[in-house]
Structure 1
Amino acid sequence: MASSAETQKPFPQPAAGYTQSFWRTELDVLDSHRSTPELPKETDILIIGGGYAGASAAYHLFPEDQQGTTPNVVLLEARELCSGATGRNGGHLRPDLYSMTSTYTERYGIEAAVEVVRFEISHMKKIEEFVRKEKIDCDLTFTRSYDIYLDADHLAAAKGFYDFLVGQGLDFIDDIKYLSQEDAEGTAKVRGAKGGFSFSAGHLWPYKLIAGLIRIAVSRGLNLQTKTMVTEIGQARTPEGLWPVTTDRGIINARKIILATNAFTSALAPEYSKAIVPCKGLCTHIEAAPGAPYQQLPETYAIRRGPGAFIYQISRKDGSIIVGGAQYTYKDAHEQWHNNPDDGTLIKNVENYFDGYMQRTFFGWENSQATVKHKWTGVMGYSADSLPHIGDIPGKPGQFIAAGFNGHGMPVIFLCGKAIAQMARQSMPFEETGLPKLFETSAARLDPVYNDTLG
């Protein structure tokens, strides 16, 4: 992203400079890697985007038990490896067991909504299996997550839907525990809590997960090209059936293309300009002063001040905290975040919000002298209907998309990347991938019925 949205052509593109994320303080040897000095002229499959979706697709295009001819695969990343939203998030591996489920149930019915929940739960297990199998050192930790409400009416509405789910006899509901006000303040340690819920969740170091995926893919044949900005995809294929892709290092022709571009999708696929919007958020890394007393918080958190007022948090093994969100502080200042792809600047209205946050939010942190050590912005791909877009890009044979994760990519992207790899390499129909049917991109979804990006 350039320094301002107005100077970017096409819009939106990743900026040349960006705020420093805590997750990028220990860089991998492949961070600025180019497998070949020159950009290849041609490839079977081209992946655009070096975040979670692109890395997962790359990994799954090179399975350990490969059969048949291995395709030529090139991955292009505009900046360094995992320098976009994945390397700027909260590291929260947290399925949504009931919150957005109410919206999906109202719009699409309980069966479709529950399919998404079960997918996210299964995704957690697959991540654990993968990390253990491949021995990826990414601080993967499983724990409970506290979903805490500070507004009584908001809690009552959530409790009403939770009771509805209990009445449905769903298999995952036993993992959700309702917390009384006493539990929320006494056990979860949150000041002013009215109550809430807890359920199984996890957290990890996202950059190290993506670096691990890419290392394996490169070892099996992936051509990784960082610092390579894609500026255009041709509107028609060549006589040989290839899509011409223009970059700042020349043109590469691809038989198939995977757009793992999330917030930046509309720059290369303008038909998604209404469906996926770049939306900016802020995240921080907080530490207590050396030797100062503080309350251990092994669980992860979502703290809700009211509808749409959401703060997320994880505790790292060293006791430090990753916390972000608080969109309610800048939501009405649209120019600061909505359709804004610039992660090179902070968000004015929330820039200092997390100073003193732990002291004023949690019992046991009053004397911690906790301070913000890092603060950074990231640009998420918010989808108009709060669902990702996965599958064949309408009207463009051989082009696929895995984007629009709505700030909720960590519990879904690994298997979405696998699915899109199967679609690109094996021509697998979407229906056979195991993804929730609501995730499938379509021409109808490009002209959205909903506009959740602005709430």
Structure 2
Amino acid sequence: MHDSYWIRTMPAWTDRPAPDSSDSYDVCVVGGGAMGASTAYWLTQLGRRPLVLERNDTPGKGASGRNGGFMVQGANPVHAEAVEIYGHDEARSLYRITQTNQELVEAVVQRENIEGAYTRANKVDLAFDEREEAYLRESVTPLRNEGVDVFWASRSDIPEFLGTHVGRHIPGGLVRCNQATLHSTKFVLGIAEAAQRQGATFVSKSPVTELSPLRKGWRVVTPNRVYNVPQVVVAANAWTPQLLPELEPHLSLIRGHLLLTGPTDLKLSPWSINDTATYGRQVPSGQLLVGGMRSAVPDADVDQRPRPAESGLDTRSEIVDALAKVLPEILPATESLGMDHAWAGVMDFTPDRLPLAGAYPGREGLWVMAGFSGHGMPYSLALPREIAEACVNPERSKIPAVLNPTRLLG
């Protein structure tokens, strides 16, 4: 098993208890990835003292450190599909919260001086064939109605926006301007460090083994300590069902593969092909990251659970080989790049591919964020801000109703 590019290039981290540290915390956040670190950050902005319990030796080493580092706007499906599945109003609310998220990331990265974490970029959604072209074209008008600078580019025009020619089977692509990419671990650790400076306490190597309600509040058990806290936010990605077993039937655990190429002189924009769930981008080293191709071996990546105390998964050679093969089919100029290394992580998918975010039904003082279906970074500051606000004042929460956990849990 290999570490991701993000983990190999992540900054150093040290847990630093707040100067006035005591055993009194307002909220316990379970998980120190993008969602957990951001929730802690916003809680400190609201004058609260959060405790973050992270199972790894540093925040950001789980799913948040094994992804593609994309921060595009919109829900998991392309916008036309989101309108079709969820309805116009709900698709609009989802798109707007991801637009808000990008604005927040830009502002917070600048305010907290988080260097090298965020880069604006155009995103090119390539069409796999003419059928997908028609579907992508349907997104142009509704996206423009949301204020997105978007247009369709023909195959001959794609190099101007992508940075290279595409395979002959690709008729063109949807170009969305002013999207973004992240250095995943620099982003998460930057947010976590900002939260620490402002009063949050992070405790690494502290997997939560039990959550149980008290007469008032919650009992949170780790191998080393037991904490009694008024409220708990569970932001543990694929490990959520271990603490909240009622969610297990509603969260499918899916392995995702990624590989890193050798060096290249190409300068590419981020891209994806929805039909094969394949995507790629350039990382700060100049190498290309490509992920997806779960369809190469049907069901091989379904119900893949990490071993205890591990955050990654073993790669499957057939899928890594398929990724290496498909890249030059999509981008012919990459044929001679070769592969540096590959890695895998685990994602938690809901049946409707929408996150669960909000109060846990029937459990006062318990909140959950889960089921981001491989699309967590686009929500990474906006949804945690709403969860933090809900912990302090539920009446002021603006979490989209379509994300409410009651839709699955009743």
1:379 and 1:209 map into 2 onto residues whose CA distance is: 19
Residues 92 and 313 in structure 1, CA contact (< 8 A), matched pair in contact too: no
Identical-pair percentage: 24
- Return the match for 1:127 from 98, 105, 112: 105
| Residue 301 of structure 1 pairs with residue 277 of structure 2 | no
Residues 34 and 380 in structure 2, CA contact (< 8 A), matched pair in contact too: yes
| Residue 76 of structure 1 pairs with residue 53 of structure 2 | yes
| Residue 48 of structure 1 pairs with residue 30 of structure 2 | yes
1:41 deviates by: 6.0
SS at match of 1:153: helix
Residues 97 and 382 in structure 2, CA contact (< 8 A), matched pair in contact too: no
SS at match of 1:203: strand
User: What amino acid sits opposite 2:364 in the alignment?
Assistant: P
1:79 deviates by: 1.0
2:327 and 2:382 map into 1 onto residues whose CA distance is: 34
Unaligned runs of 5+ in 1: 1-17, 448-455
SS at match of 2:90: helix
**Alpha carbons of 1:222 and 1:165: their partners in 2 closer, same or farther (altered >3 Å)?**
closer
SS at match of 1:90: coil
**Alpha carbons of 1:72 and 1:93: their partners in 2 closer, same or farther (altered >3 Å)?**
closer
Which consecutive segments of 4 or more residues in structure 1 shift more than 6 A? none
1:89 aligned residue = 67
1:329 deviates by: 1.2
1:264 aligned residue = 239
Query: Deviations along 1:263-302, whole A, 9 cap, x unmatched?
Result: 111111112112223221111222236xxxx4321x1100
| Residue 30 of structure 1 pairs with residue 13 of structure 2 | yes
SS at match of 1:128: helix
- Return the match for 1:323 from 263, 273, 290: 290
1:317 deviates by: 4.1
Query: Deviations along 1:336-390, whole A, 9 cap, x unmatched?
Result: 4335335231134313333355444324334xx3122231111112112111111
Task: Report the TM-score, using the length of structure 1 for normalisation.
Answer: 0.81
2:298 and 2:400 map into 1 onto residues whose CA distance is: 30
Residues 290 and 327 in structure 2, CA contact (< 8 A), matched pair in contact too: no
Matches within 5 A, 1:10-409: 19-30=2-13, 33=15, 35=17, 43-63=25-45, 70-80=47-57, 81-96=59-74, 99-159=77-137, 161-162=138-139, 165=142, 170-173=145-148, 175-184=149-158, 188=162, 189-192=165-168, 193-200=170-177, 201-234=179-212, 236-237=213-214, 239=215, 241-288=216-263, 294-297=265-268, 299-304=269-274, 306=275, 309-333=276-300, 336-342=301-307, 343-355=312-324, 358-366=327-335, 369-409=336-376
Quote the RMSD (CA, aligned, Å): 2.5
User: What amino acid sits opposite 2:188 in the alignment?
Assistant: I
1:359 and 1:109 map into 2 onto residues whose CA distance is: 37
SS at match of 2:334: coil
Matched residues, number: 399
**Alpha carbons of 1:395 and 1:300: their partners in 2 closer, same or farther (altered >3 Å)?**
same
1:62 and 1:219 map into 2 onto residues whose CA distance is: 9
2:44 and 2:140 map into 1 onto residues whose CA distance is: 44
Query: Deviations along 1:52-76, whole A, 9 cap, x unmatched?
Result: 000000111111xx6xxx4442110
Unaligned runs of 5+ in 2: none
Residues 34 and 226 in structure 1, CA contact (< 8 A), matched pair in contact too: no
2:136 and 2:17 map into 1 onto residues whose CA distance is: 50
2:409 and 2:316 map into 1 onto residues whose CA distance is: 29
2:356 and 2:8 map into 1 onto residues whose CA distance is: 31
2:79 and 2:9 map into 1 onto residues whose CA distance is: 36
Query: Deviations along 1:7-32, whole A, 9 cap, x unmatched?
Result: xxxxxxxxxxx63111011343326x
Query: Deviations along 1:139-159, whole A, 9 cap, x unmatched?
Result: 421121111112222222332
1:415 aligned residue = 382
Residues 140 and 150 in structure 2, CA contact (< 8 A), matched pair in contact too: no
Residues 148 and 302 in structure 1, CA contact (< 8 A), matched pair in contact too: yes
